[in-house]
Chain A
Amino acid sequence: MSSQQTPKTIGSLNFGLMDPEEYREMSATKVITADTYDDDGFPIDMGLMDPRLGVIDPGLECKTCGKHSGSCNGHFGHIELAAPVIHVGFNKLIRRLLRGTCRNCSRLVLDEHERDEFRDRLTRTRELQEDLNDVTKAAIRQARKKDTCPFCGEVQYDIQHEKPTTYYEVQQVLSSEFSQRIVAAMEGDEEEEDSQPVSPQELSDKTGIAASRVQEIISGEFRPREEDRKAIEKVLDVDLTEEDMNKLMPSDIRDWFEDIPDEDIEVLGMVAERSRPEWMILTVLPVPPVTARPSITLDNGQRSEDDLTHKLVDIIRINQRFMENREAGAPQLIIEDLWELLQYHVTTFMDNEISGTPPARHRSGRPLKTLSQRLKGKEGRFRGSLSGKRVNFSARTVISPDPTLSLNEVGVPDRVASEMTQTMNVNERNLEEAQRYVANGPEAHPGANYVKRPDGRRLKVTEKNCEELSEKVEPGWEVSRHLIDGDIIIFNRQPSLHRMSIMAHEVVVMPYKTFRLNTVVCPPYNADFDGDEMNMHALQNEEARAEARVLMRVQEQILSPRFGENIIGAIQDHISGTYLLTHENPHFNETQALDLLRATRIDELPEPSGTEDGTPYWTGRDLFSELLPDDMNLAFTSEAGDDVVIEDGQLLEGTIDDSAVGGFGGEIVDTTAKMYSKTRARILINEVASLAMRSIMHFGFSIGIDDESIPEAAEEHIQEAIDNAYERVQELIETYDRGELESLPGRTVDETLEMKIMQTLGKARDSAGDIAEDHFADDNPAVVMAESGARGSLLNLTQMAGCVGQQAVRGERINRGYEDRTLSHFKQDDLSADAHGFVEASYRSGLDPKEFFFHAMGGREGLVDTAVRTSKSGYLQRRLINALSELETQYDGTVRDTSDTIVQFEFGEDGTSPVRVSSDEENSVDVEGIADRVLDEEFQSAEQKQEFLGERAEPTNLSEHADDWWMAEGDD
């Protein structure tokens, strides 16, 4: 605790350029030698590892602040550059300023009127929080149009920028070939009739240049002045100039920028106080503290320096050579070369991934990771270290199913539970408990890993000291105990695409190595058990635990904010189970009935539904009714097509299937979650799942190859239907070949033929399916699954038993492969069904090789589509989330961004939550029904009920261990 300081609030942040003087002031030392350590391994004074720049070796003391490594953050140093160099990060801004200001007087080449206009636009754009760049760019564009400076009259030249850091001034000067060009022009163009040769005398007359001078000019002895050049150009209609690129050295640019008046750059959106433009040309280079570029000692005792240090070594070396050469009076050419080299090193020090510049490399050939590379990209400081941090108290392992768990629970392997801990604040009342945990030690399961004394000392609990330590534990201590049953944790499966991808669960500690979860939470997580892994996070403070329990627990997420109905419900075998239990309303004797309900809280059977041969029986519907809330009334149509009627919590009629108890809007679950409570809905789903599993085991449910076989007669019948279709296709082709096929409106004849063939073959498959279907009994497992909505459809059955049908690529019959045919097994231009991917076989009978090939083509398209879709939608999701992440609903109901700009005046324009609103117009909120119900309850025993209604808040923070209490309280 002693090391922690009181938190401070940030008053304001300034972004701007840094004054070189400031670099010098904050510098702990000037760095002049490129060497790091001397022969004895001590850092060299005024070298790159100078101890004044901070310490990394434990035990050493910082020469600047006196602290030791760990508490000293390090201190900047500086290098005095022998010559100014350009800061690459500002190369665009430098270009802009060069283009917008006068080359002579450095003033912004805009008159007062234009300046006012841009100043106004700037303030307006700032108020609207739009991009200031648009305005400043426009200002520069305006300034570039000027040929001369409005203040000093100087002619302005174009600035060319050679990336990354070279700037040229482009001037039009007299070409070196001026005499030849004049001579050629005087002779005239022979091919053009009206161009007459011009004699030197004529030229002299027309231009007013003395004849002798003209002779000298033509012979190339005399270079004409600018006005003479222009006169000659006009008379002879010739261009005597060429572009002259005059390189601007960084020092020239710095001088240029120094003269720009403060009020001029203000028009360009810069604040002179904080950002003088000449500061973009570096004269001092700050040296990052050693703590930002620590050297590592390898196993063999050799020191390995950080990439930044390597780069700084380069900079200092060149800097020194530059100075030595200049002092020795080296030729300008050498100086310029060194200058460029210095520029290169400083540039790559900041960014080593500039296009057009070869990256600086390590001896091994690996490009160096310099400043910009540390920040950029997925693994960079922002996305890698700041937005995405690694966390403690988290675990990841494979998931597997456990139908005996509640949907709120998660099975946590004991070895995980012993690593993740929860902090116990020891007091008189939990003292014994705490001591027991510590006594168990770190290895036995409900044990403890650490204790913390009131003085802040943390002690590790070991197998050796645990007994002894447990006796020392007293109120005021903190004990980091293992996770135990009932603890709340956060559970997550990536990709986290919606709210329900992260939910809170209660821990159930279990043996073995996988996380276990109830299968009904698979849909919200989109999880299956083919090797999926999930992450768990143990919560570390009471607020987090309370928040997770109240807001994030699975039962609180039953209703999806996406469509306002339940997303959690019975799935797959649960649906088949309830279907078998209720479809034909079978009878069960007492033993069977008790067995079905034994995994639920029902431990007493209701009155028998009737007697048969003197023994009482219970119907499936009556047994199912035991799970329903006592006063539930509901009527809807089931997936199977019959009417379901529930009155007073009794299922009177109908089949319970996907549309009753399934996820994605199962009526009974949805109604329970909305009209009763989340807790009631959770109990219902858990019990429906348990009852369904018991029923499906009672009846037995399996599927095999024989479940898709049909009588031989039926197969012949199907063959007949397919042959008929082939005939019709053949007829179509013949009509087409005769040129008699009439095209459909808006289609070509070819397209029409394709469409009609597809149609005919589609019908053939459907009739094959119909024939096959007729031969499947109602208790056929595939039929049961399709009917109940548990899994699969009748189309799947058709394809298994009847005919697989047309394979398609890009929505058309298969048309690719060889020239004018799909495979070399067919004649060219064969338009028949089998030559274009019609699979006449069923999956049960098996595909022939050609069919198999076409089927694989269609299947491949599906795979590619999903792969492309997931990557595209993932990127879209990332961008959407980044764009929307700062929007927040305020207490006044508005949705605003971080700068308080209103996005919506009312959340969603109606201020309602999707889970508390009717999901469609047909199922609008039954206001009258609700009012009636409320009144009814009030009338029964007036005052008591009223009080009860007003005061009973649904508890959302109850552990499952309190279910007995909750049931007793609600007596439902």
Chain B
Amino acid sequence: MVDVSQHELVPDHTVVDDEEIEDVLEEYDIKKTDLPKLQRLDPAAPDEASVGDVVRVTRDSRTTDQAVVYRLVVD
């Protein structure tokens, strides 16, 4: 079986801790549900991610080196 999460085009997905979530929510003045979503069964979602977690996606970018996106795990 191919593990797509190991493919070079799949960016890094990491579950973030509550403290970081708080920082993000405060920075953008939003509720957790205002974040973009990530399905729990998404092949790129980390195994340990459960519904309600927030995942940080760090993508390589030609223009900014790294683009960081936070996503809320939903089912």
A residues neighboring B (CB under 8 Å):
127-129, 892, 894, 896, 899-906, 909-912, 917, 921
* A contacts with B: majority SS: loop
In chain B, positions 53-69 with a C-beta closer than 8 Å to chain A are 59, 61-64, 67-69
Cα(A892)–Cα(B24), bound, Å: 13
Cα(A901)–Cα(B35), bound, Å: 6
Q: B63 near A910 (CB under 8 angstroms)?
A: yes
Q: A900 near B30 (CB under 8 angstroms)?
A: yes
From B28, B61, B70, residue with most partner A Cβ within 10 Å: B28
Q: A902 near B36 (CB under 8 angstroms)?
A: yes
Q: A900 near B34 (CB under 8 angstroms)?
A: yes
Cα(A903)–Cα(B35), bound, Å: 8
User: In angstroms, how far is the closest chain A Cβ from the Cβ of B70?
Assistant: 7
B residues neighboring A (CB under 8 Å):
28, 30-31, 33-37, 59, 61-64, 67-70, 74
Q: Which residues of B contact A904 (CB under 8 A)?
A: 69
Cα(A909)–Cα(B70), bound, Å: 12
Q: B67 near A910 (CB under 8 angstroms)?
A: yes
* 7 A-B residue pairs with CB within 8 Å: A899-B34, A901-B34, A901-B35, A909-B63, A909-B69, A910-B64, A917-B63
Cα(A46)–Cα(B75), bound, Å: 58
Q: Which residue of A892, A902, A910, A921 is within 8 Å of B34 (Cβ)? A: A902
Cα(A902)–Cα(B28), bound, Å: 9
Q: Which residues of B contact A902 (CB under 8 A)?
A: 28, 30, 34-36
Q: Which residue of B31, B33, B36, B74 is within 8 Å of A903 (Cβ)? A: B36
Q: B74 near A128 (CB under 8 angstroms)?
A: yes
Cα(A719)–Cα(B70), bound, Å: 68
Q: Which residues of A contact B59 (CB under 8 A)?
A: 909
User: In angstroms, how far is the closest chain A Cβ from the Cβ of B66?
Assistant: 10
Q: A912 near B33 (CB under 8 angstroms)?
A: no
From A127, A902, A910, A911, residue with most partner B Cβ within 10 Å: A902
Q: Which residues of A contact B35 (CB under 8 A)?
A: 901-902
Q: Which residue of A129, A901, A905, A910 is within 8 Å of B69 (Cβ)? A: A905
Instruction: Using CB atoms, name the residue of chain B closest to A903.
Output: B36
Q: Which residues of A contact B67 (CB under 8 A)?
A: 905-906, 909-910
User: In angstroms, how far is the closest chain A Cβ from the Cβ of B38?
Assistant: 12
Instruction: Using CB atoms, name the residue of chain A closest to B59.
Output: A909
User: In angstroms, how far is the closest chain B Cβ from the Cβ of A454?
Assistant: 47
Q: B68 near A905 (CB under 8 angstroms)?
A: yes
Cα(A910)–Cα(B68), bound, Å: 10
Cα(A894)–Cα(B64), bound, Å: 15
User: In angstroms, how far is the closest chain B Cβ from the Cβ of A130?
Assistant: 9
Q: B64 near A909 (CB under 8 angstroms)?
A: yes
Instruction: Using CB atoms, name the residue of chain A closest to B34.
Output: A901
Cα(A905)–Cα(B36), bound, Å: 9
Cα(A359)–Cα(B33), bound, Å: 46
Q: Which residues of B contact A906 (CB under 8 A)?
A: 64, 67
Q: Which residues of A contact B70 (CB under 8 A)?
A: 905
Cα(A172)–Cα(B30), bound, Å: 56
Cα(A309)–Cα(B41), bound, Å: 56
Cα(A128)–Cα(B36), bound, Å: 10
Q: Which residue of A892, A910, A911 is within 8 Å of B28 (Cβ)? A: A892
User: In angstroms, how far is the closest chain A Cβ from the Cβ of B16?
Assistant: 14
Q: Which residues of B contact A912 (CB under 8 A)?
A: 63
Q: Which residues of A contact B61 (CB under 8 A)?
A: 909-910
* B contacts with A: majority SS: mixed
Cα(A639)–Cα(B59), bound, Å: 38
Q: A129 near B33 (CB under 8 angstroms)?
A: yes
Q: Which residues of A contact B69 (CB under 8 A)?
A: 904-905, 909
7 interchain residue pairs of minimum CB distance:
A910-B63, A909-B67, A910-B64, A127-B33, A901-B34, A128-B33, A900-B34
User: In angstroms, how far is the closest chain B Cβ from the Cβ of A289?
Assistant: 42
Instruction: Using CB atoms, name the residue of chain B closest to A921.
Output: B62
Could you list 10 further interchain pairs (A-B, Cβ under 8 angstroms) beyond the known A892-B28, A899-B34, A901-B35?
A: A127-B33, A128-B37, A901-B34, A902-B30, A902-B34, A905-B69, A905-B70, A910-B61, A911-B64, A921-B62
Q: Which residues of A contact B30 (CB under 8 A)?
A: 900, 902
Instruction: Using CB atoms, name the residue of chain B closest to A901.
Output: B34
Q: B63 near A894 (CB under 8 angstroms)?
A: no
Q: Which residues of A contact B37 (CB under 8 A)?
A: 128
Instruction: Using CB atoms, name the residue of chain B closest to A899.
Output: B34
Instruction: Using CB atoms, name the residue of chain A closest to B72.
Output: A128
Cα(A896)–Cα(B30), bound, Å: 11
Q: Which residues of B contact A903 (CB under 8 A)?
A: 36
Instruction: Using CB atoms, name the residue of chain A closest to B33.
Output: A127
Cα(A900)–Cα(B29), bound, Å: 10
User: In angstroms, how far is the closest chain A Cβ from the Cβ of B73?
Assistant: 11
Q: Which residues of B contact A905 (CB under 8 A)?
A: 28, 67-70
Cα(A903)–Cα(B71), bound, Å: 10
Q: Which residues of A contact B34 (CB under 8 A)?
A: 896, 899-902
Q: Which residues of A contact B68 (CB under 8 A)?
A: 905
Cα(A672)–Cα(B62), bound, Å: 25
User: In angstroms, how far is the closest chain A Cβ from the Cβ of B20?
Assistant: 14
User: In angstroms, how far is the closest chain A Cβ from the Cβ of B60?
Assistant: 11
Cα(A887)–Cα(B12), bound, Å: 27
Cα(A910)–Cα(B59), bound, Å: 11
User: In angstroms, how far is the closest chain A Cβ from the Cβ of B29?
Assistant: 8
Cα(A282)–Cα(B33), bound, Å: 39
Cα(A896)–Cα(B63), bound, Å: 21
Q: Which residues of B contact A917 (CB under 8 A)?
A: 63
From A128, A905, A910, A911, residue with most partner B Cβ within 10 Å: A905
Cα(A901)–Cα(B28), bound, Å: 10
User: In angstroms, how far is the closest chain B Cβ from the Cβ of A51?
Assistant: 53
Cα(A270)–Cα(B36), bound, Å: 28
Q: Which residues of A contact B63 (CB under 8 A)?
A: 909-910, 912, 917
Q: Which residues of A contact B64 (CB under 8 A)?
A: 906, 909-911
Cα(A563)–Cα(B47), bound, Å: 39
Q: Which residues of A contact B62 (CB under 8 A)?
A: 921
User: In angstroms, how far is the closest chain A Cβ from the Cβ of B43?
Assistant: 21
User: In angstroms, how far is the closest chain A Cβ from the Cβ of B72?
Assistant: 8
Cα(A902)–Cα(B62), bound, Å: 22
Q: Which residues of B contact A900 (CB under 8 A)?
A: 30, 34
Cα(A902)–Cα(B38), bound, Å: 13
Q: B33 near A894 (CB under 8 angstroms)?
A: no
Cα(A905)–Cα(B34), bound, Å: 11
Q: Which residues of A contact B36 (CB under 8 A)?
A: 901-903
User: In angstroms, how far is the closest chain A Cβ from the Cβ of B36?
Assistant: 6
Q: Which residues of B contact A911 (CB under 8 A)?
A: 64
Cα(A900)–Cα(B37), bound, Å: 14
Q: Which residues of A contact B28 (CB under 8 A)?
A: 892, 894, 902, 905
Cα(A129)–Cα(B74), bound, Å: 12
User: In angstroms, how far is the closest chain B Cβ from the Cβ of A580?
Assistant: 40
Instruction: Using CB atoms, name the residue of chain A closest to B52.
Output: A124
Cα(A910)–Cα(B36), bound, Å: 17
Cα(A169)–Cα(B33), bound, Å: 42
Instruction: Using CB atoms, name the residue of chain B closest to A892.
Output: B28
Instruction: Using CB atoms, name the residue of chain B closest to A129.
Output: B33
Cα(A904)–Cα(B28), bound, Å: 11
User: In angstroms, how far is the closest chain B Cβ from the Cβ of A462?
Assistant: 59
User: In angstroms, how far is the closest chain B Cβ from the Cβ of A906?
Assistant: 7
Q: Which residues of B contact A921 (CB under 8 A)?
A: 62
Instruction: Using CB atoms, name the residue of chain B closest to A905.
Output: B69
User: In angstroms, how far is the closest chain B Cβ from the Cβ of A621?
Assistant: 37
Cα(A901)–Cα(B71), bound, Å: 11
Q: Which residues of B contact A909 (CB under 8 A)?
A: 59, 61, 63-64, 67, 69
Cα(A896)–Cα(B35), bound, Å: 10
Cα(A733)–Cα(B31), bound, Å: 72
Cα(A698)–Cα(B2), bound, Å: 68
Q: Which residues of B contact A894 (CB under 8 A)?
A: 28
Instruction: Using CB atoms, name the residue of chain B closest to A896.
Output: B34
User: In angstroms, how far is the closest chain B Cβ from the Cβ of A967?
Assistant: 36
Cα(A894)–Cα(B28), bound, Å: 8
Cα(A906)–Cα(B65), bound, Å: 13
Cα(A903)–Cα(B30), bound, Å: 12
Instruction: Using CB atoms, name the residue of chain A closest to B35.
Output: A902
Cα(A561)–Cα(B41), bound, Å: 36
User: In angstroms, how far is the closest chain B Cβ from the Cβ of A629?
Assistant: 28
